[in-house]
Structure 1
């Protein structure tokens, strides 16, 4: 082997080693900063969803970007506060009434009286509690030990929520400057393609949020009907809480089912069974019919792609993966449409292409002259 071949082999070996080390370093960096990266991804998700509202408000009513952004975020917080008040106020009232009746209910449970006492008596739970009362007291004492860990988790959750809000606000506020700089650096041709990709990404995220809200409204309305027919008290509040929980993909309906079924069983065993059966059937319909169809129409994805994306992302990344699976699939489709090979590019959605301008008289005549110059006699005859 000559000296030149030896130098080439050594250079390739060093390049491979460098790439492996760089990949390992990048993966270690991502793992070490995974919490901050998750916050940034969630903030970007909400920023993309709120940016069209800020742009519209800035164009029509408020010229200053900072004021328009502040008004949109305040409106979003006001809406969330109204929903929280509508849910928490009746629940706190019921908790107060429950605390007042707790000693009487406890006496009824111990004596096997009342709906809860009868239910525990049927399933044999009252006898189990009386036989293992000492073990249950020990278990209750152990539950007080991880209070510091629970408090730490609450503090971290609040810090993460504040961080996501601040990041989303800054992203929306600085979006025009960042976009103009990126497009200027990319040039005219690439800048136009990046602008199209950005519009497609924004439309995907907005469509996903709209479709998810529609599904949650359907879930809340059907839950209210079932709870009202079975006579469960506070059916509207419980249905609203179920609709909010249903915003979480895949597991949201399960969380709502636990809440609604628990309220149903507290009212009567028959109502609890009816509510539980309803949610078992509805969750299958939502996961395999409503979500693929509605989200596929809103995001312009194939229903099979929607379902497979959610299942794979939930398996790989848990709840966050299920939440971001459909927007990520839409973003990948937009990137493939612009930059992928012709064989891998997905077909454009049905209907008029928003990127194509309608051809006016001047455009038609210009196209005709261009076609006349570029096409030969054989092509015109063909």
Structure 2
């Protein structure tokens, strides 16, 4: 029994590793499709509701898609506008902070002179000039990355249209490739997996909103510049469970330290820790815990594995992929148990 279980686990692990490397190799196609699937899990219920109200499916898809794009463009516009408006204030506060640091270096325990400070600054400038070629190549790679992002965005949009308009038809087409004797079980596993994905996306959005609002209000109260862009960064970071919100909050603390002072940074740190505690002990168990039913250790391991395999996007997609797989396996096991359970006496339905 144990030997049979061991070789099956090895086969499953090997298959997952192969699939992971294939997904990484074809990342330019797999990642946009995966993001489109996440978005369809979030936007699909709105399309279904409009269809239920006798709106043609193509019209419902158009309304939801255009509305979603308008919402995203509006949010991005407000964030960019807030960043542009807050940048002069940030520059002034950073200048004041640097002047304070300079005075402390001269009058503090280090007793540096102005010539010493200027020498260190010149050394830093010389180091930058010496690595001009590296910086230039990085800029060129960034330009190439922007082109890949635009291509990926178009593929996401194109795929999302088909997922929203005819997702059920696409799934039925995929099921035709499955042997008929197990088609029902595969259909059940896929349906349960997609339901888990939809629950995960909805719960993650709620958690991200709470994190962004809580930390954003704290930044506004403390008077940290660029509070709105930093809150938007926290919102995006929350889509990587446990790790993302903490990293985004760390950026907010660093901005408070540079733009304000140590006391403001400590206050922001307390706010970030409080919001993270709220997420870990209240929001995660109530929302994400019910949605994905995954142990926190499994979530952390999935994030680290996804980060090692496909970078930031891998960390973003690893938990929903694990949630889908877990829900599908649980549904298969439930079906197996129901099939093996003996039928009690008189359990058969009586025919009229």
Is 2:251 aligned against 1:273?
A: no
1:342-377 deviation line (CA, Å, top 9, x unaligned):
8999xxxxxxxxxxxxxxxxxxxxx9783689xxxx
Within the candidate set 79, 98, 113, 1:116 is matched to 98
The structure-2 alpha-carbon separation of the partners of 1:38 and 1:217, relative to structure 1 and needing over 3 Å to count, comes to closer
> d(CA) in 2 for partners of 1:139 and 1:148?
20
Question: Which structure 1 residue ranges, 5 or more long, are not aligned?
Answer: 1-21, 346-366, 374-382
Larger RCO, structure (CA 8 Å, separation 6 or more)? 2
Question: 1:96/1:187 Cα in 2 relative to 1: closer, same or farther (>3 Å)?
Answer: same
Shift of 1:89: 0.7
Unpaired runs of at least 5, structure 2: 1-14, 339-344
In structure 2, relative to structure 1, the CA distance for the partners of 1:315 and 1:161 (3 Å cut) is same
The equivalences for 1:56-67 within 5 A come to 56-63=49-56, 65-67=57-59
State the TM-score, normalizing by the size of structure 2: 0.73
Q: Which residue of 1 aligns with 2:324?
A: 331
- Deviating more after overlay: 245-254 vs 279-288: 279-288
Task: Please report the RMSD computed on the Cα atoms of aligned residues, expressed in angstroms.
Answer: 3.9
C-alpha displacement of 1:77:
0.8
Contact 1:249 1:322 in 2 (8 A): no
8 Å contact kept, 1:219–1:246: yes
Query: Is 53-62 or 233-242 further displaced after alignment?
Result: 233-242
CA contact (8 A) 2:193 2:324 kept: yes
Instruction: Name the counterpart of 1:12.
Output: none
Q: Which residue of 2 aligns with 1:83?
A: 75
Contact 1:238 1:260 in 2 (8 A): yes
User: Does 2:110 match 1:132?
Assistant: no
Q: Tell me if structure 1 keeps the 8 A contact 2:205–2:239.
A: yes
Structure of higher CA gyration radius = 1
Q: Does 1:310 align with 2:295?
A: no
Where does residue 45 of structure 2 map in the other structure?
A: 52
Q: Answer yes or no: is the 8 Å Cα contact 2:196–2:327 preserved in 1.
A: no
Q: Give the secondary structure class of the aligned counterpart of 1:232.
A: coil
Secondary structure of the corresponding residue to residue 55 of structure 2: coil
Question: Does 331-340 or 189-198 show the bigger shift?
Answer: 189-198
SS across alignment from 1:196: helix
Alpha-carbon deviation of 1:204? Answer: 1.0
For 1:209 and 1:24, the matched residues in 2 are separated by 25
Q: Would you say the 8 A contact 1:242–1:253 is kept in 2?
A: yes
Q: What is the alpha-carbon distance in structure 2 between the residues aligned to residue 23 and residue 197 of structure 1?
A: 17
Q: Where does residue 145 of structure 2 map in the other structure?
A: 153
Are 1:203 and 2:205 matched, yes or no?
Answer: no
Q: How many residues align?
A: 316
**What whole-Å deviation, never above 9, does each CA across 1:101-142 have from its counterpart, x for those lacking one?**
6xxx89xx5xxxx33311344367996652223322233333
Could you tell me how far 1:93 is from its partner in structure 2? 1.8
- Output one character per residue of 1:170-222: Cα deviation in whole Å (capped at 9) or x when no partner: 23333232234456776998555444334322321121112112222221232
> Which residue of structure 1 aligns with residue 234 of structure 2?
242
* CA deviation after TM superposition for structure 1 residue 275, in Å: 0.8
Q: 1:176 aligns with which of 168, 178, 185?
A: 168
